[in-house]
Structure formats: structure tokens, C-alpha cells
């Protein structure tokens, strides 16, 4: 299937690249919709999948919805267990883990990703000031 570089696809990629966080699909739809109110959700969701497929952006499956990241270099993520915000974590990729996992599971493992959980700076500050653990 030969792909077409439509006006909409270009706009969606541009918008994702302009967003600094790790927006959910719907947040991207909202941002795109602000720039062109005739673009539908279907188009945005479809194109996000296409772009992720092509490697233009990275799909990040998180509880509460798929998120997308324009940084395609290998890196991990941390999610705030209080507010759900996501940030980047740059750590060296440990290839040997995949081999160890293959041995342990019997699957042919070719990759892994690590998801960290914790509190973002502002939630941490808030919890601390309220005295909760």
C-alpha cells in the first residue's frame, strides 16, 4: 500500500513534534483540531498509528490511553502515580537482559522496555507538605 503524504498527516506530525510532553492520542487530537476544526478523531488516530508504524514517532502504551513521543531514540519513561504525568528516562539499554529473559521464559525475546513509577516533582512536594508518605 503506497502511502500518501496528506495535508492532515503532515499537520499531525508537526503538532506531535511541537508538544513537549507525552501527549495522549486524544490530547493530540484536541491540539490538531484547534488548528483545523474539520479534522476528525478517526483521521488523527489513524495517522498516529501510521506514523508510529513508520517510525516517525513512538507509541507508548500507558494506562489511561496511548501516548506518543516524537523522540525516537531509545529511552525509558517514568509515570507519576499521583497525577499520571510522564517524563523521559535516559538509561543505557541492557541487551543482555533479553537473553536472560529468553532463557527464563522460553520465548524468543528481542526487546524490552522499562517503565518506572514514582512521583513527579510537584506531586512529591504536595504530598510532603501534607505529611502523607
Binding site for DNA (CB under 7 A): 1-9, 24-26, 36, 38-43, 45-47, 49-50, 64-66
Q: How far apart are CA 38 and CA 131, in angstroms?
A: 48
Report yes or no: 126 and 119 within 8 Å, Cβ to Cβ.
no
Residue 19 touching its own copies (CB under 8 A): no
From the CA atom positions of the chain, what is the Rg in Å? 18
Residue 83 touching its own copies (CB under 8 A): no
- Choice between 65 and 121, CB closer to DNA: 65
Q: How far apart are CA 119 and CA 124, in angstroms?
A: 5
To DNA, the closest distance from the beta carbon of 11 in angstroms equals 9
- Choice between 54 and 115, CB closer to its own copies: 115
Amino acid at each position: 500500500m503506497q502511502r500518501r503524504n496528506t495535508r492532515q498527516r503532515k499537520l499531525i506530525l508537526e503538532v506531535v513534534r511541537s508538544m513537549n510532553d507525552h501527549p495522549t492520542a486524544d490530547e493530540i487530537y484536541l491540539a490538531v483540531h484547534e488548528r483545523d476544526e474539520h479534522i476528525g478523531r478517526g483521521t488523527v488516530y489513524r495517522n498516529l498509528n501510521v506514523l508510529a508504524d513508520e517510525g516517525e514517532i513512538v507509541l507508548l502504551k500507558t494506562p489511561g490511553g496511548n501516548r506518543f513521543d516524537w523522540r525516537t531514540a531509545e529511552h525509558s519513561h517514568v509515570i507519576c502515580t499521583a497525577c499520571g504525568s510522564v517524563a523521559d528516562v535516559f538509561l543505557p539499554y541492557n541487551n543482555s537482559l533479553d537473553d536472560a529473559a529468553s532463557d527464563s521464559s522460553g520465548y524468543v525475546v528481542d526487546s524490552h522496555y522499562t517503565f518506572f513509577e514514582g512521583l513527579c516533582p510537584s506531586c512529591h512536594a504536595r504530598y510532603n507538605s501534607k505529611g502523607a508518605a
